[in-house]
Amino acid sequence: MDFRDSPAEADFRGRLRAWLAEHAPDLPASSTDDEYWARQGEWHTALFDAGFFGLSWPARFGGHDLPTVFDVIIDEELAAAGAPPRPSLGYLVQGISTHGNDAIRQRFLPGLISGRERWCQGFSEPDAGSDLAALRTTATLDGEEFVINGHKIWTSYSDVADWCILLARTDPDVPKHKGLSAFAVPMHQPGIEQRPLRMINGITNEFGQVTFDNARVAAENMIGEPGEGWRLAMTIVSHEREPGELGYVARYRKTVKALEQTVRANPPAFRADQRDAVAWAYVETEMLRWHVSRRLSERLDGVEHGPGGSIDKLLMTWVEQSVGRAALAVSAAHAATDADDMALKVYLYSRAQSVMGGTSQVQKNIVATRILGLPTS
């Protein structure tokens, strides 16, 4: 057991640190601000071009063939430099790699990884949230193309996306999980309309709703076989649930560090409960940091992604919400009197964590039945 860098890891960390000293962008405390989302693409390509993105992915698609533990180094150094986290794409890369054929992988992975082509994920619908398999968007074969009709919601980056990884019903006559297929759909076409959703913290650049009105996609853009859509969706969500994939540890540490600086600058101005909230957020964030190190180390054995991602997602949610509450506690009256207060935004944003990527209730169902083996009723 060793939490320390190997020589290769230390060398990598040194290069990254030097690069960050020159290039860390002056972005806001990350995803709580529209400016962050507006400039996220720029940050992605800067990281990629410098060789610090997609470390564990295959070199032939633009990655570096490194063990996933290198992502821990990226997250630590980004946090230390106060830089934004790395963009969250791992789950899309895994979904396309696992289920796409060679042509699909060659066509789409390099652009996705380099950030030259932006993607969104068209899964949830107004009437298909936790019960994702109930989705009603249809894809109907018409010659060499599928015609798509339906309505997607909570679609991250739909405003800037070039492509959408879309889950649609291709066979209405089989059980609901079996009739779904996945597609890479070009977003820039007349049949697709995107409208932003304004979230509770006021930001408008993260989520959108997308309507498909006789939109078209080439049949060869199907990812996986017809009917493989549910399995692809499960691959994606199980990866989406792991904090190691998302790089969120960096974001939490950055926020906690800022809160600590605020208190340390004038300790007598803060009550014991405010100090407690900050210290607890620190403890939770450190826990997640070592938990991610442990999970990514287990990957060295080739451990498969599975229901364990639900444990990680629940831990991550608790951490994010502890950090959000600490921000609110430190900000005290400011959060109530100033609509632009950063702590207010951090706190409000944290409430989404127990919903996005599968609600905490769904994660607990998965842990109870698939990990603890409790009986289903």
Partner 1 sequence: MDTRDTPEQAELRRSARRLAREIGPATVADLDDPTRHKRLAAAVRDAGWLELRDEDHDGAPLASGVEAAIVADALGAAVADVAFAGPLLAGDLARRAGIHFGGRASPACSEQLDGPAIVAEPALSTPVYAVDSDDDLGAAYVLVPEGSGYRLAQVRVEHANNTGTGADLTRAVRVIAAGAPVEVIADQRRLVTDDDLAEWTALGLALTSADLVGVMRGVLDITVAYATERRQYGVPVGSFQAVQHLLAEAHCLMEGAHSVALHASWAVDNLPPADARSAGRVAKAYCARAARTVCETAVQVHGGIGNTWECIAHVYLRRALLSSQWFGDDATQLAALQHERLGAPDGLS
Distance in Å, CB of 82 to partner 1, minimum: 17
Q: Is 263 in the site for partner 1 (CB under 8 A)?
A: yes
CB neighbour list of residue 146: distance below 8 Å, 6 or more residues apart: 139, 140, 168, 170, 183, 216, 217, 219, 222
Q: Which of 197, 280, 332, 341 binds partner 1 (CB under 8 A)?
A: 280
Strand residue runs (E) in 219-294: 222-223
Question: Could you say whether residue 355 binds partner 1 (CB under 8 A)?
Answer: no
Decide: 250 and 75 in contact? Cβ < 8 Å.
Answer: yes
Q: Which is nearer to partner 1, 155 or 363 (CB)?
A: 363
Q: Does 131 bind partner 1 (CB under 8 A)?
A: no
Integer Cα distance of 54 and 70 in angstroms:
10
DSSP 8-class letter at 83: P
Q: Which of 50, 133, 355, 368 binds partner 1 (CB under 8 A)?
A: 368
Q: Does 197 bind partner 1 (CB under 8 A)?
A: no
Q: Shortest gap between Cβ of 266 and partner 1 (angstroms)?
A: 7
Residues 6+ apart with CB under 8 A from 99: 182, 223, 224, 228, 231, 232, 235
Closest approach, Cβ 289 to partner 1, in A, equals 8
240 is catalytic: yes
Closest listed residue to residue 307, CA positions, set 224, 372, 223:
372
Buried b (16+ CB within 10 A) or exposed e, 301-311: eeeebeebbbb
CB of 319 to partner 1, least distance (A): 9
In angstroms, how far is CA 372 from the centroid of its own chain?
26
Binding mask 299-328 for partner 1 (x = CB under 8 A): -xx---------x--xx--x----------
CB of 190 or CB of 375, closer to partner 1? 375
Residue 185 makes CB contacts below 8 A (sequence gap 6+) with 122, 148, 163, 164, 165, 166, 192, 212, 215, 217, 221
- Pick one of 4, 21, 102, 302: the residue that binds partner 1 (CB under 8 A): 4
Q: For partner 1, which is the closer residue by CB, 190 or 302?
A: 302
What residues act catalytically? 240
Applying CB under 8 A, the residues found at the interface with partner 1 are 1-6, 9, 69, 72-73, 260, 263-264, 266-268, 270, 272, 275-276, 278-280, 282-284, 286-288, 290-291, 293-295, 297-298, 300-301, 311, 314-315, 318, 361, 363-365, 367-369, 371-377
